């Protein structure tokens, strides 16, 4: 098992002027031959994955990782082969949400092997780079770019129907790097309903349009809360703001997931609400969301190939 | 009024190897004379501010900006001269939370003038760099570093009792830059009570210890929710996890702020809950938090000067 040693084969780029590329999204750590070879590896990996779903949010704390994990578990329960790549270097939470002890295993050819959550759901998280899980990652932008490119090129997923990429909030180095390396990714933007979150989502949508990215649609998480005692609706983060925004922007509204105290407790135990025995509105919301994402992804790919044809 | 033109005086650093400094926190955009002059400007600005409070969080969406804004309004209501510097480039929300239309005004000497929220609370946000508020900032790390250093050096605050610096979640370029430029800053870490947030807070605390930063203490936000209909307690994000963590780590616990649907609605209107007429547990929580921060800041400064003396 190798850890930091493998990382940063491009870390020298952090101080090389040749790394400032001329694309809209900025430098990609392009160090000539090594970068071109890595680009080919990324393309080869991507070629084995039917749908690359890039899960983003403007604001943090809107439940992006929870949406990623539960959508992935739901898609896997529908029979699809699914992978999750967690590139949230500063706060990778996917392994905790799935109760996986992540470590990087290598095959004989030096490629990283994802951890198996189930027979058709595998997971690779940047969390695995940390020897001590309470340790913070003190990497500036160029080093993060190099690490993400390595995770895109060197993980042996095999054939997948869906790869869900969980990212940190915002529109920083991580997002530019992924969209530059995998421009065919379909972006799912997660928000909560209140205006302060929607303001950040509008920024994310503008970023994606500027980057010519494919926007699959918007998810409204933490959409309404029912009091577990009196069963009345509580207007905590409001409701419907995400759907309104999607309509105004002419993008797909993929679904609304209600807040659910039981799913917070389950998340802390590493149990996704979709995998729980009891049926809840949150579980139903995630199953519908996964079906909608699968349908929209198929339509989107058809639309892209039609426009190219 | 100048905007992007002034920014990025160090943006050339993004491709210069001389910028990789040898400090624990990495490069600071050190381009020789220009950087040294900027360091002197930052020191001069900092010299006029008694307490620099750096508000951080591990996870996004824990209400860091809400804590910053309400603490600042509460301190100002106690008679202190207060400033807020919002360096969350990708999601600057302070102007929205205070209903301020931010734009950068300059004095005759070319220094940026903060916006006045009240006679003793002034605000400068990176939001002011955006002509279109829905526009995303597509800056990689080195450019963010340069912009933050300029905001630290070139804003004319005058004499302040408190400057609260609101940062993005995590431990990225922004945080390293601020702690490097203002190592005397007192760090306030905001969390929510559930384990998935505390895991990220432990990373932040380790980062601060590694950086030899002054940790003022921990705030537990979204701590409990009372149903507005039946008035029973709802265990949404749990309660007490932040206080437990502070005790275990031997750091100050600064206070717990309950979740309050009324304050979410008020925030969307740009009205901080502390400034509202009606008294609520959240308002009381923020007033107590501000008093505790003021007391701890005074003790902390005394402790630092005693240890130096």
Mutation choice for B interface testing from A31, A63, A141 by most B CBs within 10 A: A141
Mean pLDDT calculated for residue range A52-65: 93
- Among candidates B138, B225, B237 on the partner chain, residue whose Cβ is nearest the Cβ of A176: B138
Q: What is the 8-class DSSP label of residue A155?
A: B
Cβ pair B135:A203 closer than 8 A: yes
Between positions 269 and 308 of A, the ones with CB within 8 A of B are none
**Residue A103 contacts by C-beta under 8 Å, 6 or more apart in sequence?**
A1, A115, A128
Q: How far is A108 from chain B (nearest CA, A)?
A: 33
- Among candidates B142, B228, B267 on the partner chain, residue whose Cβ is nearest the Cβ of A141: B142
pLDDT given at position A137? 75
Flag whether pLDDT at A271 surpasses 90: yes
Cβ pair A142:B138 closer than 8 A: no
Question: A284-288: which pairs have CB atoms within 8 A and are 24 or more residues apart?
Answer: A285/A255, A285/A256, A285/A257, A285/A258, A286/A67, A286/A70, A286/A71, A286/A73, A286/A74, A286/A257, A287/A74, A287/A77, A288/A255
**R_g over Cα of chain B:** 19
Q: Which of A59-73, A101-115, A179-193 is predicted with the least confidence, judged by mean pLDDT?
A: A101-115
Question: In chain B, which residues have their Cβ closer than 8 Å to the Cβ of A263?
Answer: none
Mutation choice for A interface testing from B29, B166, B203, B238 by most A CBs within 10 A: B203
Give yes or no for A168 touching B (CB within 8 A). yes
pLDDT given at position A228? 87
More confident residue, A17 or B48: B48
pLDDT given at position B6? 32
pLDDT given at position B3? 32
pLDDT given at position B308? 63
Question: In chain B, which residues have their Cβ closer than 8 Å to the Cβ of A91?
Answer: 58-60, 169-170, 200, 203
Q: What is the interface pTM, i.e. ipTM, of the complex?
A: 0.74
More confident residue, A35 or B306: A35
pLDDT given at position B243? 96
- Among candidates B96, B210, B232 on the partner chain, residue whose Cβ is nearest the Cβ of A229: B232
Mutation choice for A interface testing from B90, B178, B245 by most A CBs within 10 A: B90
Q: pLDDT by residue for chain B (309 residues), tens digit each?
A: 333 333 333 333 333 333 333 344 544 444 578 889 999 999 999 999 999 999 999 888 899 999 999 999 999 999 999 999 999 887 788 999 999 986 788 999 889 999 999 999 999 998 887 777 787 777 778 888 999 999 999 999 999 999 999 998 888 889 999 999 999 999 999 999 998 899 889 999 999 999 999 999 999 999 999 888 998 988 788 889 999 999 999 999 999 999 988 888 888 899 999 999 888 889 999 999 999 999 999 998 788 777 766
Cβ pair A206:B264 closer than 8 A: no
Half-sphere exposure of B142 (CA within 13 A, CB side): 29
Mutation choice for A interface testing from B23, B88, B136 by most A CBs within 10 A: B136
pLDDT given at position A300? 87
A193: tokens are: 């309903």
Residue range A202-235, pLDDT digits in tens: 999 999 999 999 999 999 999 999 888 998 988 7
Give yes or no for A59 touching B (CB within 8 A). yes
pLDDT given at position A278? 85
Cβ pair B230:A230 closer than 8 A: yes
Q: Which of A223-227, A242-246, A255-259, B31-35 is predicted with the least confidence, judged by mean pLDDT?
A: B31-35
* CB B225 within 8 Å of CB B280: no
Give yes or no for A228 touching B (CB within 8 A). yes
Give yes or no for B59 touching A (CB within 8 A). yes
């Amino acid at each position: 098992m190798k850890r930091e040693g493998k990382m940063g084969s491009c870390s020298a780029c952090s101080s090389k002027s040749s790394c400032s590329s001329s694309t809209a999204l900025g430098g990609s750590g392009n160090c000539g031959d090594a970068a071109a070879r890595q680009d080919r590896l990324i393309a080869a990996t991507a070629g084995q994955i039917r749908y690359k779903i890039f899960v983003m949010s403007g604001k943090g704390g809107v439940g992006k990782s929870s949406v990623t994990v539960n959508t992935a578990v739901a898609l896997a329960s529908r029979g699809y082969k699914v992978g999750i790549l967690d590139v949230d270097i500063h706060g990778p939470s996917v392994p905790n949400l799935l109760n996986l002890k992540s470590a990087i295993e290598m095959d004989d050819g030096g490629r990283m092997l994802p951890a198996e959550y189930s027979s058709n759901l595998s997971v690779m998280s940047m969390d695995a780079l940390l020897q001590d899980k309470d340790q913070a990652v003190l990497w500036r932008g160029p080093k993060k770019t190099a690490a993400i490119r390595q995770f895109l090129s060197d993980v042996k997923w095999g054939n997948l129907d869906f790869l869900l990429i969980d990212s940190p909030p915002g529109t920083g180095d991580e997002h530019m790097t992924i969209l530059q390396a995998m421009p065919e990714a379909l972006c799912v933007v997660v928000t909560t309903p209140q205006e302060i979150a929607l303001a950040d989502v509008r920024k994310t949508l503008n970023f994606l349009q500027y980057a010519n990215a494919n926007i699959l649609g918007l998810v409204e998480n933490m959409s309404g809360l029912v009091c577990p005692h009196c069963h009345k609706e509580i207007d905590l983060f409001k409701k419907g703001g995400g759907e309104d925004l999607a309509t105004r922007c002419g993008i797909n509204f993929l679904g609304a997931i209600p807040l659910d105290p039981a799913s917070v407790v389950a998340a802390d135990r590493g149990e996704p609400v979709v995998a729980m025995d009891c049926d809840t509105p949150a579980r139903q919301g995630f199953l519908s969301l996964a079906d909608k994402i699968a349908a929209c992804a198929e339509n989107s790919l058809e639309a892209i190939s039609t426009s190219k044809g």
